[in-house]
Amino acid sequence: MTVSKVLEAVSSLSVANAVAPAPAATNPVEADVDEDEDDDENDENSPDAKSGDKKKKKKKKSKKKKAVSLADTPSIKKTDFVQTAPPSIPVSHQFNGVYPVGQTMEYTHVDNTYRTTSEEKRAMERASFDEYNEVRQAAEVHRQVRAYAQQVIKPGMSMIEICETIENGTRTLIEERGLDAGIAFPTGCSLNHVAAHYTPNAGDKTVLGYDDVMKIDFGTHIGGKIIDCAFTMTFNPVYDRLKEAVRDATNTGIREAGIDVRLSDIGAAIQEVMESYEVEIGGKTYQVKPIRNLNGHSIGKYHIHAGKSVPIVRNGDQTKMEEGEYFAIETFGSTGRGVVLEDMECSHYMRTFDVQHVPLRLPKAKQLLNTINQNFGTLAFCRRYLDRLGEKNYFMALKSLVDNGLVNPYPPLVDIKGSYTAQYEHTILLKPTCKEVLSRGDDY
């Protein structure tokens, strides 16, 4: 069995359309085994062949499907492995250079059903194996870091402690090295009516409470290939139904996504599912509303929001998804208005992706821009990250970069006070033969 066929079997691993965790390492996968290769070898070495007797050539046998254990392929761990607590063993030390495939799902659109068995499309996937492998490594880091975070995060922890737990784990497991590998954007830990873009600044004394609804949104990347994945943590079971509604809506978006699918159709499906849920909190019943001005998005290299928006409500957008694109499918549900506004102190920033050169008058602004370029490029960052690099007294310089359009601020996004919001998100890849939910895990 050739290496290329093994890689083909691994990369084209098909999982049932039902939502399920990433395939376990021991599951068998069907691989093409050309048994007539051995037959031809035997023919060449036979006495008849050597004597030059003219015989009718043996008819080639048709290819058979032979079950091959993934344990025998290069994509699976070779030894039993248990991660430490806190995580300290890099993912690259756990695998022999090839990382686990996420959940694969066949395209359901009638025009794409041929893709599953197309040899041309399979060849395209084999040619992209290195790219897929890198982003799968980033996904495995995300899975292991969040598994630890879900175990140790408890009420009474400060938001800074929570974020540093996740960020330190990410830096270690991904073997952070400048712009080549590391954290893709600041760890979001938005609470209750705050839906997104909150991470604590230095001195923030906020502590997680038993009745809080916390959205954990963090990213990893290898070579700018980003995994954007989020989940919601609660400790009071009264919020379980809210989480279920949003998780179901996100999985609906994943199921509906595909090559040539219109973005508005995905939004309509998500909206229908989310609005079918009701939750009872404090003796009052709320319909779960999708937050209509928050969206999923396409992802590019070093570009977290690459241009296309995946709505979570019907909006008439006829733009289609295309082969080879990466998308963050994320949904937000709320017991409030279902609309968010910018509020509170800003912590998230990101350099403008395609900005031209802008002359700066403040020397400190020039120096800060150089620090941002060297350490983050066009990836998002927060004030804590600047503090960690030793930057001091940079507020006026940062304001200058914002005022000149070189850096964009992203303040927290909030619904009405007293409401509760939840979020779930996965990164998917629209491969030529199937879609892959890269960040899928046993947890969600």
- Which residues are marked as active site? 217, 228, 297, 305, 330, 425
- How far apart are alpha carbons 346 and 356 in whole angstroms? 25
State how far the Cα of 44 lies from the Cα of 40, in Å rounded to an integer.
Answer: 6
In whole angstroms, give the CA distance from residue 384 to residue 397.
Answer: 16
Query: What proportions of the chain, in percent to the nearest 5, are helix, strand and coil?
Result: 35, 25, 45
| Distance separating alpha carbons of residues 184 and 217, to the nearest angstrom | 11
Distance CA 331, CA 252 (A): 10
CA dihedral angle for residue 261, residue 267, residue 273, residue 279, rounded to 10 degrees: 160
φ and ψ at residue 4, rounded to 5 degrees: -60, -35
Q: How far apart are CA 12 and CA 181, in angstroms?
A: 26
- Residue of 191, 146, 194 whose CA lies nearest to 167: 146
Separation between Cα atoms, residue 135 and residue 222, nearest integer Å:
6
Which strand (E) or helix (H) includes residue 93?
none
Q: Which residue has the tokens 């849920």?
A: 277
Print the SS3 string covering 19-46: CCCCCCCCCEEEEEECCHHHHHHHHHHC
C-alpha distance from residue 435 to each of 102, 171, 256, 354, 427 (Å): 10, 28, 11, 29, 11
Angle of helix 363-375 relative to helix 395-403, nearest 10 degrees, comes to 80
* Burial degree of 281 (CB within 10 A; 0-12, 13-18, 19+): middle
